[in-house]
């Protein structure tokens, strides 16, 4: 059972692009702030994304209001990868190999796999990522706009909403099983809202 549980948690971490509830009105004020990044293409991308329009269903489906605007920044590919790598690096107090060793012993990771490095490489291929340190959503330049990209941004907006209401746990308290459970909780919450958002999309989308 422990191995199955760990496998589910690892899968949740790998498939992600980060509770509680209170009732809010069906219509909430969409909160996004002026963006930063390259002009022209950046403006077109964010206009097409309709961030205000995406914020409203996130608030409604999660039953929480945004407490403050969520800044959005468009980054070119290299800058996006560098920032994601910085955010997903193992804290200096944690030895990444020790974090991965018991998963390898259970046969859930191939030999030599480092969970921090693997997660970083995966997230660097995403189109958007929530930066907990800066409290902003990073979007990869040239991502284009389609239902998939919108669903990823919705996922990250949920993380922003979680962060505003509940803060972020101290990484040093998230070692081992506690960390996996915490990740599964916040990612499961974001995934639940994202799936409900997708379910409400028009078939024509």
> CB–CB of 104/4 below 8 Å?
no
Cα separation, 93 vs 150, whole angstroms: 36
**Would the pLDDT of 39 be above 50?**
no
Res 91: pLDDT: 63
**Would the pLDDT of 54 be above 80?**
yes
Res 42: pLDDT: 57
**Would the pLDDT of 148 be above 80?**
yes
Res 146: pLDDT: 86
Instruction: Supply the DSSP string of 27-68, one letter for each residue.
Output: S----B---BSSTTHHHHHHHHHTHHHHHHHHHHHHT---SS
């Amino acid at each position: 059972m422990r191995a199955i549980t760990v496998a589910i948690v690892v899968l949740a971490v790998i498939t992600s692009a980060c509770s509680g509830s209170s009732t809010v009105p069906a219509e909430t004020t969409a909160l996004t702030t002026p963006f930063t990044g390259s002009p022209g293409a950046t403006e077109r991308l964010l206009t097409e994304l309709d961030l205000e329009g995406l914020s409203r269903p996130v608030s409604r489906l999660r039953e929480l209001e945004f407490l403050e605007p969520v800044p959005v920044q468009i980054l070119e590919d290299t800058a996006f990868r560098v920032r994601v790598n910085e955010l997903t690096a193992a804290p200096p107090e944690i030895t990444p190999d020790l974090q991965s060793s018991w998963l390898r012993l259970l046969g859930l990771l191939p030999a030599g796999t480092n969970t921090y490095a693997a997660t970083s490489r995966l997230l660097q291929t995403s189109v958007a990522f929530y930066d907990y340190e800066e409290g902003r959503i990073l979007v990869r330049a040239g991502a284009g706009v389609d239902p998939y990209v919108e669903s990823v941004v919705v996922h990250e907006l949920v993380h922003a909403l979680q962060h505003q209401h509940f803060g972020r746990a101290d990484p040093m308290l998230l070692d081992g099983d506690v960390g996996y459970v915490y990740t599964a909780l916040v990612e499961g919450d974001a995934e639940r809202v994202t799936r409900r958002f997708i379910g409400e999309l028009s078939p024509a989308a």
